[in-house]
Amino acid sequence: MRFRRLAVLALAVVTAAAAQQFTVPVEYHTLDNGLKVVLSPDPTAPTVVVAVYYNIGFRIEPKDRTGFAHLFEHMMFQGSKNLGKMEFIKLVQSNGGILNGSTRFDFTNYFQVVPAHKLETILWAEADRMKGLNITQENLTNQQGVVKNEVKVNVLNQPYGGFPWLDMPQYANENWYNAHNFYGDLEHLDAASLKDVQQFFDTYYAPNNAALAIVGDFRPAEALALVKKHFGGIPKAAVPPLPDLREPKQTAEKRFNKKDTLAYRPALAFAYHMPERNTPEYYAMGLIDQILLQGEDSRLTQAIVKKKGYASGVGGGINLLGNMFNYNGPMLWTVSLIHDNGVKADTILAAADAAIEELRTRPVDRATLDRALVKLRSDLYGEYEGFFGFGTADLLASFALFDNDPSRINTLENEFRTVTPELILRTAQEYLRPTNRTILTIEPKSGS
């Protein structure tokens, strides 16, 4: 009797856990030309997200053209066969939509959120620029000016500009692909030619190097037919294999100081190389991030902000230019803060180390792990919804491009659930080693 009751109870628990899981609809197709297509209907609002991801990030741009992947992203708005300069933007806006593009470690994306009935209009426009660009020297020169102003407003004319998101990968990584200036040197940006633009397009902007995600209020069969109609005829191209992005194992702590003459207060960041993507340790790091860094209850916030008052807040996480899912290569877990002149970086590091070492010394208790899981699950749902469903499109396109398996989106919750306190301990011991760490201090203008 007892056993049977237990069995029933256990069943009930499993059902409750399963009911809590939120499932994202995923329909996956690959066209004959290699274009990966992911469809995820969601009728919540009469809108639709169209996101095109190209498997070319800023890591793998040419060595004498730093910043080129990003500059090229701008060129995708400068004209294609049927849409002249500004016409793509005006087409989206005049149909009641919003749009953007971004360049990240391992992809460049272009996305629109539009009224649902404008799906075909946008698919046509995205297909038009996947077919080819029509760029003049005048437009290239114009966008070189815009991008240089982007670098100025975000980095050169800004206190803490590029700290730590642009700086840290350059200090912590050894492999050029991971360690160069992704925004680009201004001279390299100036040196870009129309020939470079054409060559880059021909090399990377092919359907077999891209994923298209559609999320929102649409019927999958109709959407697929439209995708085939507009993208099906675009020829595939020979895409070069990705370069070797691997980082050597770090064996000694690294420390750097950067002067920032625009800043009035010092800042501190430290970063650890992440476990390889999709390994058990990788999922454990996702939970370690929740325990140590995310939210006001996190141990680093409690230690550094609440107890010691060294900073107003502690920021950071896995992949400062996205989330822990939308990259494909080496990555850092980064912590950063701004502090007062009177407090030494080492004093703050000591407080941080006390919290980190605790995690490397004994297994976390179940309650801590459960809380980390709840936070992570809630964050994940937030990610799905982010920017009117763009967040779902982002994960689906990333998993299609990097893993050829967008349905992974529905396995994530379970991967985190299976992480044990022992795995957390082992992961912290190996990856939160001081010898796996890079420290960066920002030295402000003297006398401030």
Partner 1 sequence: MKTIIIALCLAVSLAFAQKEAPPAGSAPKDFTLPKKHIVTFKNGLEAVFIPYGRVPKVNISVVIRVGNINERPGQTGLADLMGDLMKEGTTTRTAEQIAAEAASMGGSLNVGIGVDQSTIGGEVLSEFGPRMAALAADVVRNPLFPESELARLKNNTLREITVAKSSPQQLTFEKFRSLLYGDHPYGTVFPTEEAVKGYTVADVRKFYKENVGAARTRIYVAGVFDQAAMEKALRDAFESWPKGPAVHTNVPKPKAKKQFHLIDRPGAAQSTIYLGLPTLNNFDPDYVKMVVTNSLLGGSFGSRITSNIREQKGYTYSPNSQLSTRYRDGYWVQTADVTSSVTGASLKEITYEIERLRSEAPSDAEVEAIRNYIAGVFVLQNSSRGGIVGQLSNLKLHGLPDSYLANYVKNVHATTPADVQAMAKRYVRPEEMTLVITGDKASVEKQIEEFAKGVPIEKK
**Interaction with partner 1 in 354-413: which residues (CB under 8 A)?**
370-371, 374-375, 377-379, 381-382, 384-385, 388
Q: DSSP states of 4-21 as a string?
A: HHHHHHHHHHHHHHHHH-
Nearer to partner 1, 14 or 45 (CB): 45
Smallest distance from the beta carbon of 76 to partner 1, in angstroms? Answer: 14
The answer to whether the CB of 440 falls within 8 A of the CB of 258 is yes
Residue 267, helix vs strand vs coil: strand
Binding to partner 1, residues 32-71 (CB under 8 A): 42, 44-47
Smallest distance from the beta carbon of 64 to partner 1, in angstroms? Answer: 23
Residue 94, helix vs strand vs coil: helix
The answer to whether the CB of 256 falls within 8 A of the CB of 440 is yes
Residue 29, helix vs strand vs coil: strand
Q: Given the rule CB under 8 A, which of 195-203, 207-215, 305-313, 318-326 is the region that contacts partner 1?
A: 305-313
x/- binding map, residues 254-283, to partner 1, per CB under 8 A? Answer: --------xxxx------------------
Smallest distance from the beta carbon of 23 to partner 1, in angstroms? Answer: 10
Nearer to partner 1, 67 or 275 (CB): 67
- Cα–Cα–Cα angle for 89, 92, 96, rounded to 5 degrees: 135
Alpha helix ranges (H) inside 152-258? 167-172, 176-179, 186-191, 194-204, 220-231
Smallest distance from the beta carbon of 330 to partner 1, in angstroms? Answer: 29
Closest CA to 432 of 308, 293, 268: 293
Alpha helix ranges (H) inside 205-312? 220-231, 280-292, 299-300
Q: Given the rule CB under 8 A, which of 7-15, 56-64, 103-111, 296-304 is the region that contacts partner 1?
A: 296-304
Binding to partner 1, residues 308-347 (CB under 8 A): 309, 311-312, 338-340
Nearer to partner 1, 275 or 316 (CB): 316
Binding to partner 1, residues 64-103 (CB under 8 A): 81-83, 85-86, 89-91, 93-99
Residue with tokens 């629109």: 112
Smallest distance from the beta carbon of 297 to partner 1, in angstroms? Answer: 4
Binding to partner 1, residues 193-252 (CB under 8 A): 217
**CA–CA separation, 36 and 83 (whole Å):** 24
Q: Given the rule CB under 8 A, which of 1-9, 29-37, 115-123, 322-330 is the region that contacts partner 1?
A: 115-123
Determine which residue in the list 114, 268, 356, 419 makes contact with partner 1, applying CB under 8 A.
114
**CA–CA separation, 101 and 144 (whole Å):** 16
**CA–CA separation, 414 and 437 (whole Å):** 29
Nearer to partner 1, 164 or 330 (CB): 164
